[in-house]
Amino acid sequence: MRVLVVTAVPVERDAVTRAFTDEPQILDVPGAELHRAGAFDVVAGGAGPASAAAAAAFALASGAGAEVGPGAGAEPYGLVVSAGIGGGFAPDAPVGSLVVASGIVAADLGAETPDGFVPVTALGFGRERFVPPPGLVRDVAAATGALTGEVLTVSTVTGSAGRAAALRTAHPHAVAEAMEGFGVAEAAERLRVPVLEIRAVSNAVGPRDRNAWRIGDALAALTEAFGKLTPVLEGWTTPHDRHR
């Protein structure tokens, strides 16, 4: 099974491919540059849900997921993974920890009203959550030592204790936030490809302190996690474990 991984920035992409090789094969497909390492095609699609959705959609539609060669079928990608660094909610997800999303949630998609934030579904359209395959989430977490919980997709990085508290009140099962997961999930859903989100925690969600971000440590944790994924994916039986 070929896996598409979507990161925001090139250093995250390279942290993923480094788990397998120092010299990934580079494939230019319309709208995306795929770095191929083993079963993983990795694209740095840009920051934010819109960039991530566009990059994921182009890569998925490119046909690059089709295996070629003797005995191979024309299989599309079997899994899409939104991956990178992220902010962790204290105390559950400390800096340096790894998170696998049990739910991928659009936390700021909706409307502000005098009574507070109203999610898009309460407005009568759209969706606010994708649920990755539960068995795969469990197995990836077990193999990598990751925590599981909801990962919020936000368009604005949280920068205050008040906003962090409000997000946790609205999403009590949230353990992390990042900016791409929901966009990747939207693209994957259109082709009925299962989706995962894996985040290495580089900073705490809360008052902005860019100097405290531990990006190098988080990128190393991401590399280590992807190095442990191959046996998990080889043992995964997709039809029995679909997302909802």
Ligand X SMILES: O=C(O)c1cccc(C(=O)CC[C@H]2O[C@@H](n3cnc4c(=O)[nH]cnc43)[C@H](O)[C@@H]2O)c1
Q: 174-178 and 147-153 as β-strands: parallel, antiparallel, unpaired?
A: parallel
* C-alpha closest to that of 198 among 108, 56, 84: 84
215 is a contact residue toward ligand X (CB under 6 A): yes
**Hey, which residues does 43 pair with through a beta bridge?**
6
CA distance readout (Å), 99 to 10, 49, 105:
20, 19, 14
Closest to ligand X by CB, 85 vs 99, is: 85
Q: Alpha-carbon distance 136 to 232, whole Å?
A: 8
Size of the site for ligand X (CB under 6 A): 20
220 is a contact residue toward ligand X (CB under 6 A): no
Half-sphere exposure of 161 (CA within 13 A, CB side): 0
24, 95, 203, 225: which one binds ligand X (CB under 6 A): 203
Closest to ligand X by CB, 59 vs 176, is: 176
Query: Taking each helix axis from N to C terminus, what angle separates 215-227 and 10-17, rounded to the nearest 10 degrees?
Result: 40
The burial class, CB within 10 Å (0-12 / 13-18 / 19+), for 150 is: buried
In 10 A of CB 193, how many CB atoms? 21
Which residue, judged by CB position, is nearest to ligand X in the bound state?
87
**Hey, which residues does 112 pair with through a beta bridge?**
117
Q: Alpha-carbon distance 10 to 3, whole Å?
A: 18
Stretch that binds ligand X, among 119-127, 152-160, 190-198, 225-233 (CB under 6 A): 152-160
3, 5, 6, 8: which one binds ligand X (CB under 6 A): 8
11 is a contact residue toward ligand X (CB under 6 A): yes
9 is a contact residue toward ligand X (CB under 6 A): yes
Backbone angles phi, psi at 201, to 5 degrees: -80, 120
Closest to ligand X by CB, 113 vs 156, is: 156
Stretch that binds ligand X, among 24-32, 183-191, 202-210, 227-235 (CB under 6 A): 202-210
Contact 77, 2 (CB under 8 A): yes
106 is a contact residue toward ligand X (CB under 6 A): no
95, 143, 178, 184: which one binds ligand X (CB under 6 A): 178
Closest to ligand X by CB, 24 vs 49, is: 49
106, 147, 205, 229: which one binds ligand X (CB under 6 A): 205
Closest to ligand X by CB, 45 vs 76, is: 45
14, 108, 177, 197: which one binds ligand X (CB under 6 A): 177
150 is a contact residue toward ligand X (CB under 6 A): no
179 is a contact residue toward ligand X (CB under 6 A): yes
Q: By the criterion CB under 6 A, which residues form the site for ligand X?
A: 8-9, 11-12, 47, 84-87, 154, 157-158, 177-180, 202-203, 205, 215
